[in-house]
């Protein structure tokens, strides 16, 4: 009897704690112009609780999806339940389900060869490879970047960005890219000086992936790190701010100053003990860690500190990148005078990878390399995604929908102060806290059974991660259902 390992990861505990029957009332059907049924649906439609009988029949416990039937902002499951998706496969669906522009890419006979035969992109790329990068990734490169390196996923992107940083730092220390014979010899056997004792500074609450290098900079939940050997690298506190940020500027600024001072102290101390800090890695909003924000000023000052101490500044935009904050890259809100050194991405960008400044390009081929270096099929899809974002003006839409969401969340926390707090967000990249973890999980389930898919983050937050095609209409619909779910919590 085959038991699939994946089944372990299904949200067993949560799904079995509660089951509900329900009905759904819409109150905002009037708002914006509705998309026609061919592109999307006109609202959620629930036939069973989730997981329903067909989901359960596939594997013991879970929630299986019908990706052929899903459309736009609506995820359809195998029991025919149609749910407004405000989680989008852990924030990784950029322009909704089955967007016609993407279906066209998939059915274009010209693309078949690339889809069927996966090229080793570093060795034998397809002819249109450069063109697709120019019209895709490079067309949305953050200011200051003219180089990009593709990778397959977020973890691989950060792992290789870390390597690019270490290589850059050692070349700088050495004054030449040419290693000594001793460095060459010792590198193969994991010893100094070939494998130097450099470090990366990361922040408490940060999440940068789950492979061993990334995991050394991830500090969210014990379950992700327990029992896995790690690197002893400096960890700085991330500002714990009060929301809305604008209302607590003075005390938030103090908290940020405290954290920045700690960052600088750590860099100085670790450099002094010979375990140099080669770089600093940070998210524009700590997502998995609980949607923790810091002010744009904090990030500008942090960039200044890295510059002062010769550390690389790596901005991890794996979850924040791709437009949901209303700018294509969340760090573009900061208004940096001096761009970051590396910006990593994945999820809504479909491919993984990172932008890098020229000086981070390794001096020799094959220092940053692997078999596939990403997946060209994702580059083809991304090029269309970017076209759609531009022609449909989706960054502006994210701003407008985000405004509706955030105002709605403020209203809800005013209405239910004993349950909800700390509503926060930029664009549609919003979150709210629930009074405790159990209530949060309970609320996510209630919302799902009423036709809204949500995801948690941190210990007691709910993160909202709609696709870029999420309109003000969808925002109202979501808020109505969310309100109904909260009301049932009593």
Binding to a copy of itself, residues 337-356 (CB under 8 A):
346-347, 350, 356
DSSP, res 293: -
Among 162, 298, 299, 345, binds a copy of itself (CB under 8 A): 162
Of the pair 39, 195, the CB lying nearest a copy of itself is at 195
Report how far apart, in Å, the C-alpha atoms of 77 and of each of 60, 91, 244, 430, 443 are: 16, 18, 36, 25, 20
Contact set for a copy of itself, span 227-246 (CB under 8 A): 227-233, 235
Among 41, 63, 74, 345, binds a copy of itself (CB under 8 A): 63
Site string for a copy of itself, 302-341 (x = CB under 8 A): ----------------------------------------
The alpha carbon dihedral of 236, 238, 240, 242 has a sign of positive
Among 19, 27, 53, 67, binds a copy of itself (CB under 8 A): 67
316 is catalytic: yes
| DSSP per-residue string spanning 182-230 | HHHHHHTTT-TTTS---EEEEETT----SSHHHHTT--S-HHHHTT---
371 is catalytic: yes
Stretch that binds a copy of itself, among 35-43, 188-196, 324-332, 443-451 (CB under 8 A): 188-196
Q: Report if residue 26 touches a copy of itself, rule: CB under 8 A.
A: no
Q: Report if residue 99 touches a copy of itself, rule: CB under 8 A.
A: yes
Distance, in Å, from the CA atom of 162 to the CA atom of 208, rounded to the nearest integer, reads 11
Stretch that binds a copy of itself, among 20-28, 62-70, 309-317, 400-408 (CB under 8 A): 62-70
Distance, in Å, from the CA atom of 474 to the CA atom of 488, rounded to the nearest integer, reads 21
Contact set for a copy of itself, span 37-56 (CB under 8 A): 54
Distance, in Å, from the CA atom of 185 to the CA atom of 192, rounded to the nearest integer, reads 10
Of the pair 166, 299, the CB lying nearest a copy of itself is at 166
Q: Report if residue 386 touches a copy of itself, rule: CB under 8 A.
A: no
Among 159, 317, 332, 480, binds a copy of itself (CB under 8 A): 159
Spell out the residues 6+ positions from residue 165 whose beta carbon is closer than 8 angstroms to its own: 200, 278, 279, 312, 314, 341, 342, 360
Distance, in Å, from the CA atom of 468 to the CA atom of 190, rounded to the nearest integer, reads 45
Contact set for a copy of itself, span 104-123 (CB under 8 A): 106-107, 110, 112-123
* Size of interface with a copy of itself, in residues (CB under 8 A): 136
Q: Report if residue 222 touches a copy of itself, rule: CB under 8 A.
A: yes
Q: State in angstroms the smallest separation of the CB of 205 from a copy of itself.
A: 9
Q: State in angstroms the smallest separation of the CB of 31 from a copy of itself.
A: 26
Q: Report if residue 163 touches a copy of itself, rule: CB under 8 A.
A: yes
Residue reference for tokens 């159990």:
438
Q: Report if residue 62 touches a copy of itself, rule: CB under 8 A.
A: yes
Tally of CB atoms within 10 A around 305: 17
Q: Report if residue 130 touches a copy of itself, rule: CB under 8 A.
A: yes
Q: Report if residue 194 touches a copy of itself, rule: CB under 8 A.
A: yes
Q: Report if residue 143 touches a copy of itself, rule: CB under 8 A.
A: no
Q: Report if residue 191 touches a copy of itself, rule: CB under 8 A.
A: yes
348 is catalytic: no
207 is catalytic: yes
Q: Report if residue 6 touches a copy of itself, rule: CB under 8 A.
A: yes
Among 28, 34, 147, 309, binds a copy of itself (CB under 8 A): 147
Distance, in Å, from the CA atom of 43 to the CA atom of 451, rounded to the nearest integer, reads 9
The alpha carbon dihedral of 56, 61, 62, 68 has a sign of negative
Distance, in Å, from the CA atom of 476 to the CA atom of 458, rounded to the nearest integer, reads 25
The alpha carbon dihedral of 8, 9, 13, 16 has a sign of negative
Among 35, 82, 208, 219, binds a copy of itself (CB under 8 A): 219
> Of how many residues is the chain composed?
490
Active-site pick, 77, 79, 85, 316: 316
CA nearest neighbour of 458 among 277, 293, 318, 249: 293
Q: State in angstroms the smallest separation of the CB of 458 from a copy of itself.
A: 13
Of the pair 254, 371, the CB lying nearest a copy of itself is at 371
Q: Report if residue 287 touches a copy of itself, rule: CB under 8 A.
A: no
Q: How many CA atoms lie within 13 A of 364 on its CB side?
A: 8
| DSSP per-residue string spanning 370-393 | -SSSS-HHHHHHHHHHHHHHHHTT
Helix (H, G, I), strand (E, B) or coil at 422: strand
The C-alpha angle 332, 266, 307, rounded to 5 degrees, equals 40
Of the pair 443, 479, the CB lying nearest a copy of itself is at 443
Of the pair 44, 194, the CB lying nearest a copy of itself is at 194
Tokens at 160, concatenated: 């290789």
CA nearest neighbour of 409 among 483, 320, 327, 473: 483
Q: Report if residue 60 touches a copy of itself, rule: CB under 8 A.
A: no
Residues carrying an active site annotation: 207, 316, 347, 371
């Amino acid at each position: 009897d085959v038991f699939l390992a994946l089944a372990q990861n299904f949200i067993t505990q949560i799904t079995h704690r509660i089951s509900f029957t329900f009905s759904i009332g819409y109150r905002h059907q009037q708002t914006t112009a509705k998309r026609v049924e061919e592109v999307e649906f006109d609202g959620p439609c629930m036939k069973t609780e989730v997981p329903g009988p067909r989901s359960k029949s596939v594997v013991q416990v879970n929630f299986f999806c019908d990706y052929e039937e899903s459309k736009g902002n609506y995820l359809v499951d195998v029991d025919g339940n149609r749910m407004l998706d405000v989680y989008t496969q852990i924030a990784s669906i950029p322009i909704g389900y089955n967007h016609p522009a993407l279906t066209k890419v998939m059915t274009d006979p010209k693309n078949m060869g690339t889809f069927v035969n996966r090229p080793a992109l570093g060795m034998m790329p397809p002819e249109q490879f450069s063109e697709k990068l120019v019209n895709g990734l490079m067309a949305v490169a953050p200011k200051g970047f003219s180089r990009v390196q593709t990778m397959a996923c977020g973890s691989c992107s950060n792992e290789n960005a870390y390597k690019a940083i270490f290589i850059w730092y050692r070349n700088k220390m050495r004054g030449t890219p040419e290693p000594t014979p001793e460095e060459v010899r010792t590198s193969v056997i994991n010893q100094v000086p070939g494998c130097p004792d450099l470090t990366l500074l990361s922040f408490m609450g940060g999440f940068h992936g789950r492979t061993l290098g990334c995991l050394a900079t991830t500090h969210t939940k014990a379950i992700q790190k327990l029992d896995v050997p790690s690197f002893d690298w400096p960890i700085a506190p991330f500002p714990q701010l009060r929301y809305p940020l604008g209302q607590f500027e003075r005390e938030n600024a103090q908290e940020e100053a405290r954290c920045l001072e700690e960052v600088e102290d750590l860099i100085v101390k670790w450099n002094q003990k010979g375990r140099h800090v080669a770089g600093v890695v940070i998210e524009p909003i700590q997502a998995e860690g609980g949607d923790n924000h810091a002010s744009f000023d904090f990030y500008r000052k942090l960039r200044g500190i890295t510059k002062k101490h010769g550390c690389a500044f790596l901005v991890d935009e794996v979850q924040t990148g791709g437009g949901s904050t209303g700018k294509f890259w969340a760090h573009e809100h900061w208004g940096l005078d001096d761009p970051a050194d590396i910006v990593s991405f994945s999820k809504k960008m479909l491919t993984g990878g990172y932008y890098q400044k020229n000086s981070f390009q390794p001096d020799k081929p094959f220092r940053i390399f692997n078999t596939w270096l990403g997946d060209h099929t994702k580059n083809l899809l991304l090029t269309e995604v970017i076209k759609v974002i531009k022609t449909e003006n989706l960054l502006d839409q994210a701003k407008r929908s985000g405004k509706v969401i955030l105002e709605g969340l403020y209203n809800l926390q005013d209405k239910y102060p004993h349950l909800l707090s700390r509503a926060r967000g930029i664009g549609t990249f919003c979150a709210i806290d629930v009074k405790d973890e159990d209530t949060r999980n309970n609320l996510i389930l209630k919302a799902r059974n009423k036709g809204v898919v949500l995801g948690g983050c941190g210990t007691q937050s709910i993160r909202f991660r709609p696709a870029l095609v999420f309109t003000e209409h969808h925002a109202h619909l979501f808020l109505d259902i969310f309100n109904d779910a909260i009301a049932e919590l009593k």
